[in-house]
A and B are shown apart, each in its own frame.
Chain A
Amino acid sequence: MRLEASGLVCVRGGREVFSGLGFALSGGEALLVTGRNGSGKSSLLRMIAGLVRLSGGRLGLSGGDAERSIPEQVHYLGHQDALKPTLTVTENLGFWTRYLGGSQPPEQALATVGLAGLGGLPAAYLSAGQRRRLSMARLLAVQRPIWLLDEPTSALDSDAQQILAGAMKQHLQGGGLILAATHGPIGLDGARELRLGAAQ
């Protein structure tokens, strides 16, 4: 599997955020997208997820499922958690597993992120850190090959960051791809860096 981009242009609010951006990522590889705030890290991830229109350039995926578009093979972990407070933890996770597709039962993913036993509680009772863990559980339960992570370690305590690092390593070993927008290290050694805001 190979994700390639060339000449990407991003325009937000009438202002050109970046242009001429390109990268290539193969299965088992991770790319850290760095840069100061406003340099377009989130926009790049959302572009690949299909949530923001490409103002220019090309994005192509080879070796993946030819029947599906790129957004359908991508899992996006943004700043928000996509949680409904009145549904229970299991109902929240179970819904996304059924809607986005995934074979792992919710209990297994919950156990991995340390939320086992909280399945029956309304999601409103979780703390901010626990909600991020639930988003991580969603990432694990919905098994898609490309992970787009937008500042994944924010609001995570050190235990949770270790769980995330372990999950990411396992995903890469399985041939998955990871693009992560981040300000600092997130526990992936040997990942390449794409610095936005610098001359391309």
Chain B
Amino acid sequence: MNALSALFIRDLRLAVRVGGGGGIGVLFFLIVVVLMPFAIGPDLALLARIGPALLWLGALLATLLTLERLFSIDQEDGSLDLLLMADTPLELAVAAKAAAHWLTTGLPLVIATPLFGLFMNLNGHASAAVALTLLAGTPALTFIGVIGAALSVALRRGGLLLAVLVLPLTVPVLIFGVSASNAAIVGPLPFGTPFTILCALSLFSLVIGTFAAAAALRHGLE
């Protein structure tokens, strides 16, 4: 436990010191959210209808793109070798790193969502609903994205290939996240059903993601 908390705190420190914490992730989220109305046009009614979906897409891209280098940096400076030689199982190390990433990137996105909802002409209730679904769903995005981060180390490839591999895996999270948001805003479906499935997806990916990522890291060694 002492070792895991050391790793967690180290990753928190690194995220905060390089480029000001979750700032760059939120900034990217903001830019993506701002880009959509430029493309769609200033039709406020339309923006309000698709606002939850646009916010979810922005959060998805911001999470996945910032995750890509999660393990590559450790591999490049030799830290990954030492992490593999510790008493602590690699799965727990992966979970600790992913948790630190969510805390410094995913959580700021959730907190920024009500503000960015203003740009989509979402009222307070709607923005809060989207923020709540993002709170439940961004852990899923993080732990699925972690698989891509591990693969980019194992395959020594990055960029678009990883996005192509991982993005399809995030589709269920996206579907239920947007569905839950819309259910809260418009109805008639009850909010609870898609929301609990979203929570289940997060818990599921927490387990699958850490084991898959650890396996990818081990088998990618040479």
Contacts and interface: CB of A to CB of B under 8 A. Distances in A.
A103 interface: no
Contacts of A80: 76-78, 81
Given A12-B222, A91-B13, A99 B86 contact: yes
Interface residues of B, number: 23
A71 interface: yes
Main secondary structure of the interface of B (DSSP, over half): helix
A74 B81 CA distance: 12
B40 interface: no
Interface string B64-87: 000000000000111101111111
B18 interface: yes
A51 B221 contact: yes
Interface stretch (B1-9, B100-108, B118-126, B201-209): B1-9
A74 B82 CA distance: 10
Contacts of B17: 86-87
Contacts of B157: none
B14 interface: yes
Contacts of B193: none
A128 B3 CA distance: 28
A99 B221 contact: no
A78 interface: yes
Interface string A27-55: 00000000000000000001001111100
Contact of A98 (B3, B14, B81, B82): B3
A81 interface: yes
Contacts of A96: 82
Contact of A86 (B18, B79, B85, B86): B18
A81 B18 CA distance: 19
Contact of B77 (A51, A83, A99, A101): A83
Interface in B111-147: none
A86 B14 contact: yes
Given A87-B10, A87-B13, A99 B88 contact: yes
**Chain A interface extent, by class:** 20 to 34
A23 interface: no
A99 B4 CA distance: 7
A96 B76 CA distance: 17
Interface string A93-113: 011101111000000000000
Given A12-B222, A82-B79, A86-B18, A100 B86 contact: yes
A91 B78 CA distance: 17
A87 B14 contact: yes
B222 A49 contact: no
Contacts of A72: 85-87
Given A84-B14, A86-B17, A86-B18, A76 B85 contact: yes
Nearest to B9: A95
Given A91-B13, A95-B6, A98-B3, A84 B77 contact: yes
A76 B82 contact: yes
For the complex of A and B, list the 10 residue pairs with the smallest distance between their C-beta atoms, beginning with the closest. Answer: A80-B78, A98-B6, A82-B78, A86-B17, A82-B79, A71-B85, A99-B3, A95-B10, A99-B6, A100-B86
Given A46-B81, A87-B17, 11 more contacts: A49-B81, A72-B86, A72-B87, A75-B85, A76-B81, A78-B81, A79-B78, A83-B77, A84-B79, A87-B10, A98-B2
27 contacts: A51-B84, A52-B221, A52-B222, A72-B87, A74-B85, A75-B85, A76-B81, A79-B78, A81-B77, A82-B77, A82-B79, A82-B81, A82-B82, A83-B77, A84-B10, A84-B14, A84-B77, A86-B17, A87-B13, A91-B13, A95-B7, A98-B6, A99-B3, A99-B7, A100-B82, A100-B85, A101-B87
